[in-house]
Structure 1
Amino acid sequence: MPPAPEVGVAVFILKDNKVLFGRRRSLSIGAHTYLLPGGHLEFGESFEECAAREVKEETGLDIKDIELLTATNNLLSDSVHMVAIYMRAHLLDPNQTPQNIEPEKCEGWEWYDLKNFPEPMFGPLREMLLGGFNPFPSDS
């Protein structure tokens, strides 16, 4: 029997027309690529709770206005099926600076313009962005 799909929550944190990305170290999913802050959904947790928890654990940032944007269904290999829930949020305090709280998992966090996003980007996220997905509100 194949393993059950994993559910991950990734967060587009928006600041001054930029998005926060981090380059992951050797993890099973997304090793050595740029990803958004996020992680696995825990049992009983809402998407918003997971987004706030993961962002705090990875970057030290407090976020607000957390909202669901979209989801993707990704078969990454014969043994890895990941459902990615993409959320959007803003900084609770715009003067916060991201910290690399888990240096064993991430090389660091930087703000990038989506017109010039970092490479190598995690495959499913890269495809979504190149396909025209825009995490910014339509009024921005």
Structure 2
Amino acid sequence: MENNGEQIASMPAPRVAVVVFLLKDRSILLGRRRSSVGDATFALPGGNLEFGESFEECAAREVKEETGLDLGQNKIEYLTVTNNVFLDQPKKCHYVTIFMRVVLDPQDEQVVQNLEPEKCDGWDWFEWEKLPQPLFWPLEKMLKGGFDPFLR
């Protein structure tokens, strides 16, 4: 029987993800995941923090890579952080997730593209009061706790 230290050593190390609430009027941008973790759930754009990156740099890079949207001069704000351990997924993992926010000008005419179709079935804007189901577990947990990115 393994001792607790050996069990912990065999688990993957925690990683840092940066995800972005893109807000436009009263809508947020969500995509349906294609992943071993949270497959077929709706999630925010984002991804892994790279060595040396700031949270803001990671947010802008990931949004551009996944959606084609250029955040340009938009203010990228830190909102909160969550600690998410996924033990019930096919691929067990542990993510510290940094949530950022960008309020887009309603007149911004950039078109959202699905630039990583192997990771996402597509992006769409959803009214805050009419979010699709199922939501990715960390996002759902935050919303059930009363979190509202429009109020911060």
The reply to whether TM is greater than 0.5 is yes
Residue aligning to 2:80: 70
Residue aligning to 2:101: 88
Residue aligning to 1:125: 139
Q: Aligned to 1:121, what secondary structure does the other structure show?
A: coil
Greater than 4 Å deviation, 4+ residue runs: none
Structure 1: runs of 5 or more not aligned: none
Equivalent runs, 1:6-17 vs 2, <5 Å? 6-17=15-26
Identity of aligned residues (%): 59
User: Post-superposition shift, 1:29?
Assistant: 2.1
Code of the aligned partner of 2:150: F
Pair 1:102 & 2:111 matched: no
Pair 1:112 & 2:122 matched: no
Distance in 2, Cα, partners of 1:29 & 1:55: 19
Pair 1:34 & 2:48 matched: no
Relative to the length of structure 1, the TM-score reads: 0.92
State the number of aligned residues. Answer: 137
User: Is this contact kept in 2: 1:69–1:88, CA < 8 A?
Assistant: yes
Q: Aligned to 1:19, what secondary structure does the other structure show?
A: strand
Equivalent runs, 1:34-53 vs 2, <5 Å? 34-53=42-61
User: Post-superposition shift, 1:137?
Assistant: 4.0
Deviation string 1:3-30 (CA, Å, 9 cap, x unpaired) is 21011011000101100000011x1222
Deviation string 1:61-107 (CA, Å, 9 cap, x unpaired) is 01211010000001111741111100001337711121011111111
Structure 2: runs of 5 or more not aligned: 1-8
Question: Which protein is bigger by CA-based radius of gyration?
Answer: 2
Code of the aligned partner of 2:142: M
User: Is this contact kept in 2: 1:62–1:91, CA < 8 A?
Assistant: no
Relative to the length of structure 2, the TM-score reads: 0.85
Distance in 1, Cα, partners of 2:108 & 2:26: 13
Q: CA RMSD in A?
A: 1.5
